[in-house]
Amino acid sequence: MTLYVERLGTGPDLVLLHGWGMNGAVFDGIKTELSKQFRLHIIDLPGFGYSADLGIEDPDLSSWLDLMLKALPERAHLLGWSLGGMLAIRLAFLYPERVLSLITVASSPRFVAEPEWPGVKPEVLTSFSAQLQADTHKTIERFLAIQALGSASARDDVRILRERLQSRPVPHPQALRTGLSLLQELDLRAELSILARPALHLLGRLDALVPAAVQEVWPQSTPRVKFHLFRASAHAPFITESNEFVAVVSEFITAQPRNDLSSTAVLANN
C-alpha cells in the first residue's frame, strides 16, 4: 500500500506536500502552470484525501515519513505547505541525498509561539484539540477561516480551500489528531540550522498562523537559504497570489544545479 500521488508534467521532479486537514487538491490552482516546467508529484499525506486509510494503525511521525519516503522520486525538490513544510524539513534533514532543494510555504520549524519566537498561541491549538473530539467538521471550518484571516480575498480563499478539501475523501479522524499533535510538538529548529540543502522559505505578510516576523529569528543555516514575502497573502499564498507564487518557485528551482548532491554531509543519525 502506498500513498496516493498525482503525477503530471515533465522536467525536474517537484514534490508538493499539503497541510493539516487538507489534501493534494489544494494545489489545483497552480499545478497546470508548474507542470509546464516540472514533473509534479502531489502527495495525499497519510490519512488525508485518497490516502485516508493509510498510516492509521501506527499513527506517528516515523510511520508517516516511511510512507512518504516510498512515494517520493529518487531525488526531488520538496515543497511543503504549513504542516507539509515541517514534514519536508524533517525529510530533508534525514535524507539529504534524496532532496535537491527545500521549499516551505507558510511554515516554520516551530509552529507554537514561545518567548521571542512568533507562532500560534499554545492555547489555540489546545482548543483545536478539544474541539476536534466534539465536532471534526466545525474544527476544520474554523481552521480554514484562520488561514485566510487578514487577506483582502479571505472569503474567496476560504471558499477555494473548502471546495478543494471536499473534492476528495474526508480526512481520517486519527490523521487529524496525529497532525495536530505534530503541529503542537515538533521543534525542528536544530535540524534546520544545520540543513545542508538549498532552501527557500515563503511567508505571507498577513499570516495569522505563521507570522512573517518569524523570519527575523529564523535559525541560521547555509548561505543558500532565501526568503520571499507575499505582501497580499495570509496562510495560502499559492491561492491568493498564484502567479507570483509560481514565478518565485520556478525561478528558485531553475537556479539550482541539476542533481546537486554536493551537500550530503548531514547524515540521518546526526
Annotated catalytic residues are 82, 207, 235
Of 39, 106, 43, the C-alpha closest to 75 is: 39
3-state SS, 154-187, equals: HHHHHHHHHHHHHCCCCCCHHHHHHHHHHHHHCC
List the grid coordinates of 232.
497580499
DSSP state of 45: P
Could you tell me which residues come within 8 angstroms of residue 101 by beta carbon, excluding any fewer than 6 positions away?
Answer: 77, 78, 197, 198, 199, 200, 252, 253, 256, 260
Report CA-CA distances (Å) from 60 to 142, 175, 212, 224, 227: 24, 9, 29, 31, 30
List the grid coordinates of 139.
474544527
What gap in Å lies between CA 225 and CA 136, rounded to an integer?
37
Helix axis angle, 136-148 to 173-185, nearest 10°: 50
